[in-house]
Amino acid sequence: GAVVSQHPSRVICKSGTSVKIECRSLDFQATTMFWYRQFPKKSLMLMATSNEGSKATYEQGVEKDKFLINHASLTLSTLTVTSAHPEDSSFYICSARPLGQDTGELFFGEGSRLTVL
Amino acid sequence: GQNIDQPTEMTATEGAIVQINCTYQTSGFNGLFWYQQHAGEAPTFLSYNVLDGLEEKGRFSSFLSRSKGYSYLLLKELQMKDSASYLCAAVDSNYQLIWGAGTKLIIKP
């Protein structure tokens, strides 16, 4: 099956620093990738839709200047949390939809746990 | 290792009831999610169970048995719009989501 890899799986950083999370589709191309955030024992929340070669579409309430998304190729999307603060500590997960697949099935990365001290 | 099992595909009739099962093995357990995903769309949250028992929410109900490592999603009064994939995801001790592969539910008139 299709594989989506996220890196890093865990990251701890100091408040005020920026953190980049990568989402790669390993064996397929994806024009669209989704970024989610999940707080402990809470629902997975869609943050933004990443579109290859164009600007990401952000969900209401998500700061685009805070969460920078770059989808520079058909196999890589990155999420950068800028000037991270403790309230940004969360579990971030991406998913990708294979190019040309009509079913719309999404494949999820393993997730990245961010802890901001 | 950590593992989630759910059927690949199920077929049901409009107006009927269907139960989608999910078994899990995780390092620790902090709850289980069910998500619905329509083709071409991001998954949407359906339910979260952390205690044993049945949680009812309209036409959808979710059940959890922690001792058995088992959950099911029950859909009543099926509608054509319920045709979708249903994802089961368990939360391990590190609060990481362990995802099932999803169950594609096909509703026939």
Tell me what pLDDT residue A110 has.
Answer: 79
Q: Does B69 touch chain A (CB under 8 A)?
A: no
Cβ of residue B83 closer than 8 Å to a chain A Cβ: no
Cα separation of the two ends of chain A: 37
Residues B51-68: pLDDT tens digits? 999 999 899 999 999 999
- The answer to whether residue B23 neighbours chain A at the CB level (below 8 Å) is no
Q: Do B95 and A44 touch (CB under 8 A)?
A: no
The string of pLDDT tens digits covering residues A78-114 is: 999 999 999 999 989 898 878 876 544 567 787 888 9
Sequence-distant (6+) residues with CB within 8 A of A6 are: A21, A22, A23, A24, A92, A93, A94, A109, A110, A111, A112
Residue A54 — pLDDT band, cuts 50, 70, 90?
Answer: confident
Select from B72, B87, B25, B83 the least CA-distant residue to A36: B87
Question: DSSP state, A59?
Answer: P
